[in-house]
Amino acid sequence: MQVHVIVHGKAAGRPEFREAIAAARSKGHTILVHVTWEQGDSARFAQLGVHQGADAVVAGGGDGTINEVALGLVTASAGSTGRPSLGVIPLGTANDFARSAGIPLDPTAALDLVVSRPAAAIDLGRIGDRLFVNVATGGFGTHVTLETREELKKALGGAAYLLTGVTRYSSIRAATARFTGPGFEWEGNFLVLAIGNGRQAGGGHVLCPEATVNDGALDLRILPEVPQAEMGQAMASILREGLDAVERRVVSARLTTLDIQAPDEIFINLDGEPISGHRFHVEAVPKALKLHLPEGCPLL
């Protein structure tokens, strides 16, 4: 195979990553490595892989890198049947998508998965002109992601999000929005919003436990505002156990499209990258990419 590996600059020098590249090359595969330097590099390198006829393009990083590579593949090969498959080497802070998909965290095993197993067609989510592979979040989870410092993530990994959430939950305030989709309508104040193609975000918090990446739909989960006296306990439970900890309060739906209208500006986090606005149109994009996943992947 000809495989283009796009690796986040901070991870390129890790010995285990270099060993993975050497192992794949020793089996006769052509492995071209592109190291990112600035915002947008991952998408540009993915487009280069398309134009150079790669069999697979691999995202070496976290959910943000996967998102950028997926965007590059979709953009460069729009209308083409010869789009390269997508692979993942988990090298990020939390690796939420890889963990929920069962992709090996060992780089050699992850790259071997790409060159040894056929890829499966998966859906993507789209909000406006932006795509997401894993989960789009709003409310409490988005604030935690935005406020977690890089040095804390470097020191603690995924646990950094938990620490930030525990120390900041008292400052979280509910947002207001109206949600409408086919056969669904809900309006009110909410603390947590999750739109899942995948299942978990923010360092292991399971937000959409039933989501699958090849069902042609997205899982919506909304936690309405809770009484102030219960706020601390509810947020602590979510940080430990995900939204299932407050299941009886959660509003759920599985939708192909969703429209969100908010009187005040709200933030939505797409695989770690925030967007903001008052109106959002969300839709599932069925079978948008082919992704190398392990046998028995729980997301299929």
Active site residue 273: yes
Total residues found in the chain within this entry? 300
Q: Is the four-CA dihedral 97, 102, 106, 109 of positive or negative sign? A: negative
Write down the catalytic residue from 38, 273, 283, 295: 273
- How distant is the alpha carbon of residue 182 from its chain centre? 24
Structure tokens, 17: 């990553």
Q: Which of 40, 39, 77, 38 is nearest to 57 (CA)?
A: 77
Q: List for the chain the helix, strand, coil content (%; round to 5).
A: 35, 35, 30
Q: How far is CA 250 from CA 29, 55, 78, 110, in A?
A: 48, 42, 37, 35
Helix 228-241, helix 159-168: angle, nearest 10: 180
The C-alpha atoms of residue 129 and residue 115 are separated, in whole angstroms, by 31
Active site residues: 273
